[in-house]
A and B are shown apart, each in its own frame.
Chain A
C-alpha cells in the first residue's frame, strides 16, 4: 500500500493538471483524461482494506454455513462420516422432542406482542413531557445490557418451587397463584417467556421513545388544538406515525425469540422438565452434546431456513422504516 502511494499522487496531479488545462482552454476533458480518471477509480487499496473483514466473515460464517449443510447429510463421527441422505431430517421431523422444541419457539412468539405493547405504552408515557423521563428510561433499559446468564440464574432461584416468588405469594395468602414455575411442563416455557420480556422490554422503550421524539411537533399540536383527548392523540396521531419502526422492531424480536434464546432456556430450565421447555437451539445443543452431529446439523439447517425467511422480512422492514 505504502509504495503505491507516490504513483497515485503522481496520477492525481496529472489528472488535476489536465483538468486545469482543459478549463483554461475552455474545453471539456479530453478522451484520454476520462480514461485516466476511470483507471484511477479502479485502484487497489479498497480491495486490500476489505480483505481482512471478508476473510473473517468467510471463516466465521461462510465456511460453517457450507459445512453445516454438508454435515446434515451424514451420520457418525467426525473422522468417518457415513452418507445417509435425508435420514437426519426424517428422524428429526419424527422426533416428538423436536416437535416440542419447535412448538415452544412458536409459543415464545407470544412474548413479542407483550414486549411491543408494553414498550409502546411506556414510551408514550415517557414522551408525554413527564418529569424524570431520562431517569425512568435509564432504569427500564438497564436489564437489556446485563448478562442473561447471571440474570437467568437469579430468576431460577426466584421462581423455584420454594423460591422467593412463591413464598411471597403464600405469605400474601395468594396460594392460588403459587405454582411450580420451572418444574411444571406447562409453565416452564411461560417462565422463559417472562424472562425474555423482562430483559428485552427496554429495547422497545428506547427505540420507540427516539422515534416519537423525532416526529415533527406540528401534527400533535394541530390535534391538540382540534380538541383531541389524550388517548386519541396517542393512538390516532402518534402511534400511526411510528408504525414502520414498530413493524421493524417486531420483526427483530421475532428473530430473537426464534433463534437467540438459548441462554435463557439453558440457565432457567435447561429445557426441562424433560424436554417440556426445550427450543430448537437447545435441541441442537443437546444432539450435539450426545454426539449426534448429523441431527444437530439438520436442525441447524432447518433453523437457518426459517431464520432466512425472517431475515428477508427484516431487510424489507428496515428499508420501509428508513424510507418512511
Chain B
C-alpha cells in the first residue's frame, strides 16, 4: 500500500478503534473511582467533572484493603523469590551440569507449565487443612512457589543455553566451584533475563484468584484479588467504592508496565515462537 493515503487512513482508524476498545474499561475504572456514588448513579459514563477522592479514602480507612495489599505483596515477593532461586540452581545444573535425567526433568517442567491449577486444588486443600496452614499466608506461598517452578526452569534453561559454554569451562578450569561459577559468571550475565522472569511471575501471583479464594477464607488473611472478589458482592450498590479497589489493584501493574514494557512482552511470550 505504498503511498496510498486512503489505505494508511484505514489502517490507523482500525488500530485506533482497537486501542479505544482496549483502554475504555480502564478509563471506566479510573473515572468511576473518582466519582461520588450519587454522581455515578446519575451519569455512569459521564466525565468526572467533580472528582473526589472519597471512594479511595474510604477503601483505605474503612476497609481492610491496605491489609490485603500487604498480604498480596508478601505472598508475591516470597513465592517469586524462592521459586526463582530454585529455578536458577536447577536450570544451571541442566545446562552446565548435564546430569543423568536432565532431559526428562526439562520435558516434565514444560508439560507441568500448562497443568490447570484447579485440578490440584482439592488434594492441596486437604493437605493445608491437615497441616493447619489454611487461612495462613504460608499455604498459598508454598503452593505458588511450586506452581511457579516449571515455567521458571523452562525460561532460565532457554536463557542459559545462550551463555557461552567456554566462559563457564574457563572459570571451572581455573578452579572455581559450580556455585562460584553460577554467582560470578552466569548470574551477572543473566540480570535482564532474571528480571523479566521475576516480573512475569510476580504479575501471575499478584493476579491469581482461585487458590487465594479457597485457601484464605479469613477476612484478615485475604489477598487483594480474593478481597476484591468479595467486595464486588458486598458493595453491589456502591460501584465507585468497588472500582476504587480495582484501581488500587491495577495501578502497580500499569506503572510497572509503563516503566518496563519490553520485560513484560519478552517474558509473557517466552515459549511461544523461537
Q: Which residues of A contact B (CB under 8 A)?
A: 1-2, 4-5, 8-9, 12, 16, 41-43, 45-47, 49-50, 52-54, 56-57, 59-61, 63-65, 67-68, 71, 78, 121-122, 125-126, 128, 130, 136, 138-151, 153-158, 163-164, 167-168, 198, 201-203, 206-207, 210-211, 214, 230, 245, 248-249, 252, 255, 259-260, 262-263, 266-267, 281, 284-285, 288, 293, 296-297, 300-301, 303-304, 307, 310-311, 314-315, 318, 321-322
Contacts and interface: CB of A to CB of B under 8 A. Distances in A.
Contact of A145 (B112, B203, B214): B203
The majority secondary structure among interface residues of chain A is helix
A130 B87 contact: no
Contacts, number: 302
Contact of B97 (A45, A52, A157): A45
B188 interface: no
B122 A297 contact: yes
B133 to A, nearest CB: 13
Interface string B238-254: 01001101110110011
A53 B86 CA distance: 5
Nearest to A12: B173
A124 B119 CA distance: 38
A303 B122 CA distance: 13
Contact of B210 (A158, A262, A307): A262
Nearest to A138: B261
Contact of B25 (A9, A154, A307): A154
A150 B228 contact: yes
Contacts of A45: 93, 97, 177-178
B124 to A, nearest CB: 5
B243 A154 contact: yes
Nearest to B251: A150
Nearest to A284: B118
Contact of A142 (B22, B107, B177): B22
B75 interface: no
Contact of B172 (A12, A267, A281, A304): A12
A68 B239 CA distance: 39
A149 B129 contact: no
Contact of A314 (B83, B114, B119, B123): B114
A153 B120 contact: no
Given A46-B99, A128-B11, A68 B269 contact: no
Contacts of B98: 41, 46
B209 A148 contact: yes
B179 A59 contact: no
Contacts of A307: 114-116, 119
Contacts of A207: 269, 272-273
Nearest to B91: A53
B164 to A, nearest CB: 19
A313 to B, nearest CB: 11
